[in-house]
Amino acid sequence: MMDKIKLFAMDVDGTLTDGTIYISGSGEFVKAFHVKDGYGIRAAQKAGITVAIITGRQSAIVEQRAKELDIIEIHQGVSKKDEVLCELADRLGLSREETAYIGDDDNDLSAMKVCGISFAPCDCSNQVRKQADVLLHKEGGRGAVREAIDLILAAKDERRKSDGGK
C-alpha cells in the first residue's frame, strides 16, 4: 500500500517539531525543525509526492518553514483535519489509498482514519498509538517525518524493481 502514496500530509507540533513551543519575553513564538525531516520532504517532492501541512495552530513560523521547503499545501487553524485531507485528495484527483498522514495526538485521529496509511512518532498519544498503521521508531521533531517518507520511498523503489524498473 505504501508504494501507491502520492500525497503525504502531516501535522506540525509533535510531528514535524518535538511539540515544544518557546515563547520569548516579548511574546514571540519559536519552534525547532529537524533538518533530516526537511531532507525527507525534499526527497518526497522529488519523487512526485505532494507534501501538505494540516495543523490546528496558526503560525508564521510554520509558514516560513513551508516556504523554505516549497510546501504549497499549507492548511493552518484546522479543527477538522479529516475534512481538509479529503478535500485536498479530491482536488488532486487522488483516492484515499493514495494518501498518507502522520500525526501524534488525538486531534489527528480523524485524518488518520480517512487516509490510506497512517504514521505516528513513537512518542505519540495512546489513542494515536492504537490507530496508527505504522508506529515509527523516531520521536516527533527528531526525524519521524523522514522515517515515514523513507518507508514510502523504499516501498515505491521495491515496486519499481519488481515491475522491471518501470
Which amino acid appears at position 40 of this protein?
G
For the residues 107-129, what does the mean pLDDT come to? 98
DSSP string of 140-153?
TTTTHHHHHHHHHH
Query: 131, 130, 79: which is closest to 101 by C-alpha?
Result: 131
In this model, does residue 166 exceed pLDDT 90? no
Tell me what percent of the residues of the chain surpass a pLDDT of 90. Answer: 86
pLDDT digits (tens, 9 = 90+) for 10-26: 999 999 999 998 898 88
pLDDT digits (tens, 9 = 90+) for 16-57: 999 998 898 888 888 999 999 999 999 999 999 999 999 999
Share the mean pLDDT of the chain. 95
pLDDT for residue 51: 98
Measured distance CA(60)–CA(87) in Å, rounded? 23
pLDDT for residue 161: 80
Which amino acid appears at position 22 of this protein?
Y
User: C-alpha distances in angstroms, 144 versus 28, 52, 91?
Assistant: 26, 15, 27
pLDDT for residue 165: 63
Helix, strand or coil, per DSSP, at residue 80:
coil
Place of cell 501541512: 53
pLDDT for residue 1: 83
User: C-alpha distances in angstroms, 70 versus 39, 65, 102?
Assistant: 12, 9, 19
pTM of structure: 0.94
Measured distance CA(78)–CA(60) in Å, rounded? 15
pLDDT for residue 9: 98
pLDDT for residue 24: 86
Tell me what percent of the residues of the chain surpass a pLDDT of 70. Answer: 99
